[in-house]
Amino acid sequence: MTTASTAQPTASQPLPPTDAKERVSQWMKQLQDKICQALESTDGAGKFQQDEWEREEGGGGRSRVIREGNVLEQGGVNFSEVWGSHLPPSILTQRPEAAGHKFYATGTSMVLHPRNPYVPTVHLNYRYFEAGPVWWFGGGIDLTPYYPFAEDAAHFHKTLKQACDNHHPEYYPVFKRWCDEYFYLKHRQETRGVGGIFFDYQDGREGQLYRGPQTDSSAAVYSNQLGHQPPRSWEEIFAFVRDCGEAFLPSYLPIVDRRRNMEYGDRERNFQLYRRGRYVEFNLVYDRGTIFGLQTNGRTESILMSLPPLVRWEYGYAPEPNTPEAELYETFLKPQDWANWKS
């Protein structure tokens, strides 16, 4: 295959290994395999259907979708590996030095929409990018509950914090705040869920851990207080990303096991469908992966796989006071220190 041209080192950014693309691609596919196998075992009925595809400009992927299972109403776990000559505006805005170079991008993404409203939706995405002298890792994972269970949010965050702490004591504090910032619906003035971790443009250069667009956000302020961080090697960042990917199953499956058999009725189902609308709004308006995929002529079916199978909107909805739905809005849709949550 023909991929991006060989990157040249810069004074501030080290050169990745010559086999970087092959190693990351292999791990991304292994992550997809491991997640799909575990989810099929947990669900007990649903099976993933694989759809392999090719991109005309270069590359392709394999999309796997599960439907109508015991636990999962619908879910998708995608792997993609694409390359080409023309970078989309969303990349050039952030890294103009990549202009004029061929690019390579690979990643694994996942969104699960459970049937039971007491089981939260979960999203994962890890990716790697090269273009000439530029390379970076990005990604994250976040949890979107429909009903408020503090022990679930705390377990999810504590598991992710441990994965982060194994590599850098400030990864979790910065990337947790970055996640709260990224998965925020400005037009609704609420977070999508209880967050998790999110990071982007992690390329080994010395400087701030936070490399997002908002200079006055909580993540930016915290990162600035830490000062410049020393350079990190490609190997160090790749090891961190791998551990984050491996943290998904222990962070999420115990929550599924706790909630999957809880009884629910029309009220809970209707609220779940209403809150799924927020998921649609975020993915179509703000999500970088969706925007990048559409701007690079990616496979539309795979890009929009993240959308739920059923959803509803309701004009002027407000939860009744002193209900679980109200607690979700009052506590769970605002940033909290879940890793240190005390019941």
- Please say if 123 is a catalytic residue: yes
The active-site residue out of 123, 167, 187, 228 is 123
Cβ of 287: how many Cβ atoms within 10 Å? 18
Cβ of 305: how many Cβ atoms within 10 Å? 20
Residue found by looking up tokens 């400087």 in the block: 207
CA distance 273 to 271: 5
Closest CA to 306 of 314, 318, 298: 298
Which tokens is 321 given?
């006071």
Which tokens is 31 given?
């992550």
- 171 near 209, Cβ under 8 Å? yes
Which tokens is 340 given?
């240190």
Closest CA to 151 of 66, 254, 267: 254
Closest CA to 251 of 115, 154, 106: 154
**CA-based end-to-end distance of the chain:** 54
Which tokens is 231 given?
């350079």
Written as one string, the DSSP assignment of 33-81 is: HHHHHHHHHHHSS---EEEEEE-TTSEEEEEEEEES-SSEEEEEEEEEE
Decide: helix, strand or coil at residue 136: strand
Q: Is the dihedral of CA 200, 131, 16, 21 positive or negative?
A: positive
Closest CA to 271 of 324, 309, 322: 324
The C-alpha R_g of the chain, in whole angstroms, comes to 20
Catalytic residue set: 123
